[in-house]
Structures are given as structure tokens and as C-alpha cells.
A and B are shown apart, each in its own frame.
Chain A
């Protein structure tokens, strides 16, 4: 067995994909790439059910598609029928924001979130795709408005304990949940502020600008939520949200990550605010909590003291090891890893193209 390939860290950039591998220590990474050269790789997932890397690939000329590799990037195969809206809808997929395998009990099932916002499903490991009609034909769809990144379905959380349950997040529509495998969806934005709306409408049923959701895989009902207007947590699978900004330097940011070993632990990367999207005090830091967001602490050991990094919504992730590893990539090409819950950071490289996404898995 090649222990150097115990862990795989998938980095999507504006110019292609890079694949990092490491042993379980997660301290020494080998890199290959660029793969899918020249294309924007918005997101990748490692499908542990069959050892396949799933990648969302966008060519500015030739449009979006899904590529798959079952040999850690040596060879890639495109989907036979990539996600595509039905004729007559007037819609065309412009970006695939997230690609996510189903649960271990559902081999072959893969989901993709796209722009304009919708969900696609593949039952053959990503070879062919079908649109989710309940979302496509949702009665409120005409009132959905895009955030700054477009009208994108950027987050898919599949509940490992209840495979028919799934949470999705759309900017700027909010979060929705299905309990019947996508046959129907209900909004779940109770308690989430939308303070860019007029007085009296600041807590709407939908229209919130959710930036990212993250859930503990063993306690999937506990969800952390980075929003345009706050940081939130739900303890009841999205039914209610509580503001957990507390002592964070800002309520604003994009990524959020959950610690798989401790449902009280999460990580954010605050920016000053909506109109000043730079790290507070010119110093990028990850902030963590170990008590469900009641208090936050700065995790910046090993990060440069002056740093204006931008980390996009898919740019930070946590693994499922013990202790939890945390990873982030910046739009200026730096990749940092921490094998100890953000306690210390190691710069793996500072010379990649702009990083759009990071994803990590045990192989």
C-alpha cells in the first residue's frame, strides 16, 4: 500500500486542477498538475465509494462539463451527457459550483449544483445527469435574485444518516431542505437576517444571501452557516438558526468548515465587511470555536502577519481525521494546511493560479 496516498487534497484553480497527496500525518504533500489544463475547476470531490475524482470543469469557450478520474488524475473522462437544462426552459448551465457524491448506501449517486441555480443528479457516477424538476419548477423561482457571484447553487449537504434528506444553499435565495430525495423542497431561513432588504422585510421566508454551509457528518443536524449578514448555527437540521457571531471581528466572510470529530467545533475566515472585503487589520486569520460559536479564537500561527488573502466560499475545508485538519487556498495562489485543528499552519505552496476550491478526503 502506498501510504503517501493516504490523503488526497484537491485544489481547483482558474487554470486547472492540482492534486496533492500525503500520508496520514498530513505534513508532507506531493503535487501533480495542472490537470484539465487551462480550464476553470470550480470544485472537485473524491468519491471514496469507488476512488474516483469528480471535477467541475468550465471552459470559457466550450462551456461547462464534468470530468472524472479513477487514477488520481492520470487519465480523465468527460461525462457523456453533462448537466444540461431541458429545451424550452431558456436556461443554460454556465457554471458547476459544486459536485458531491451521495452516501455509501447509494453507489453511483452524485449531485451537482449549478448556475443558474438548480440541482442535477447522476445515478451512474457522473456519466449522465438529470435536472431536479422540483427546483427547476419551484413556484418562487421567478423571484430568485442572484448574489454577486451569480444565481448559484453552491452547497449540497447530503445527510449520511438520512439519505433522502439534503440541504442546499443558493445565493441569494437562502437554504432549502428536502426530506424526500428532492421531490420537494422547503425554505429554511428562520432567524437569518437579510439587512439589504427594506424595513419590515429583513427576515423573509427566502432571499437571504447564504455564502456557505457546513455540517458535522456524524451529527448532520448541526449545521454552521456563513452568511452575508452573519454567522449562524442550527441544531435542528435547519429549522431554526441562531446568530453566533459573538466575539468574531466581523460577521462577514465566505467559507465555513465543520470539525468532523466535534460537532461544537467550526472554522471561519472573516473579512472586514461587505464594502471592505479584506481581512480585519490587514491580517488574514482563520477563527475557530470549540463551543458551538459562543466564543471564537484566532488561529494564525504560521500565517504571515501582513496578509490580504482572499479565500472564496469553496476555498476552505476540514477533513475527517482526528485531530481534524484544516486547509485553505487563496485567490493569489497560496495553499495552507493545518494537521492540528488550525493550531499551526504550513504553507504548502504560494505559486498556484487563483484558487477556486479545496476539497480533502482519505483515499
Chain B
């Protein structure tokens, strides 16, 4: 449960609670990493406003690694 107003804030809150998780989700500039997908209520945040996507009470966020690699 987080109280942030957008995904950026959510990542910061998560990183305070679980140090090191933030840099796994976003890069040095706070952009969601290429092979990480963040869904807000099942909608990919890339189709919304990326890391600036706003959050409201009751929203459900999934953070999932994408299909990639070799």
C-alpha cells in the first residue's frame, strides 16, 4: 500500500521501504526501464503517462519484467 500521487512517487516510496528496488524499476533519470512494464489497473503505463501516470485511491499497480533476453 502506498500513498503516492503518481508512479514516480510510488517508486520512491517503495525504495524507502525496500532499498534497491527503485533502481531496478527506473533508470538514473527516473524513467521506467526498457524491459520493465508497469501496469496501472491492467493498463500499461507506456500507454498512459509513463512514470508520471497519476494514481488514485484503490488503483492496483503491477510491476512485471517484460519478455526479453538472449
Contacts and interface: CB of A to CB of B under 8 A. Distances in A.
A85 B27 CA distance: 9
B6 to A, nearest CB: 16
A87 B30 CA distance: 8
Q: Say whether chain B's binding surface is mostly helix, strand, loop, or mixed.
A: loop
Contacts of A60: 35, 68-69
A84 B30 CA distance: 11
B65 A92 contact: no
Contact of A63 (B19, B23, B68): B23
Contacts of A303: none
A80 B69 CA distance: 26
A85 B23 CA distance: 12
Contact of A62 (B19, B30, B33): B33
A203 to B, nearest CB: 35
B29 interface: yes
Nearest to A84: B28
B42 interface: no
Contact of A92 (B29, B66, B69): B29
A329 to B, nearest CB: 19
B33 A61 contact: yes
A91 interface: yes
Nearest to A85: B28
A266 to B, nearest CB: 34
A63 B24 contact: yes
A333 to B, nearest CB: 15
Nearest to A81: B23
A334 interface: no
A46 B13 CA distance: 35
A82 interface: yes
B29 A91 contact: yes
Given A91-B28, A92-B29, A61 B23 contact: no
Contacts of B24: 59, 61-63
A87 B27 CA distance: 10
Interface in A70-94: 78, 80, 82, 84-87, 89-93
A80 B22 CA distance: 12
A92 to B, nearest CB: 4
Nearest to A14: B70
> Size class of A's contact patch?
10 to 19
Interface string B39-56: 000000000000000000
A86 B27 CA distance: 11
Given A60-B35, A60-B68, A60-B69, A65 B23 contact: yes
B36 interface: yes
A80 B19 contact: yes
A91 B31 CA distance: 11
A253 to B, nearest CB: 26
A120 to B, nearest CB: 11
Contacts of B58: none
A93 B30 CA distance: 12
Contacts of B33: 61-63
Nearest to A59: B24
Interface in B1-40: 19-20, 23-24, 27-31, 33, 35-36
Contact of B35 (A61, A86, A87): A61
A92 B25 CA distance: 13
Interface in A20-72: 59-63, 65
A265 to B, nearest CB: 38
3 closest A-B pairs by beta carbon, nearest first, are A92-B27, A62-B24, A92-B28
25 contacts: A60-B35, A60-B68, A60-B69, A61-B33, A61-B35, A61-B36, A61-B65, A62-B24, A62-B33, A62-B36, A63-B33, A78-B20, A80-B20, A84-B28, A85-B28, A86-B28, A87-B28, A87-B29, A87-B30, A89-B28, A89-B29, A90-B29, A91-B28, A92-B29, A92-B31
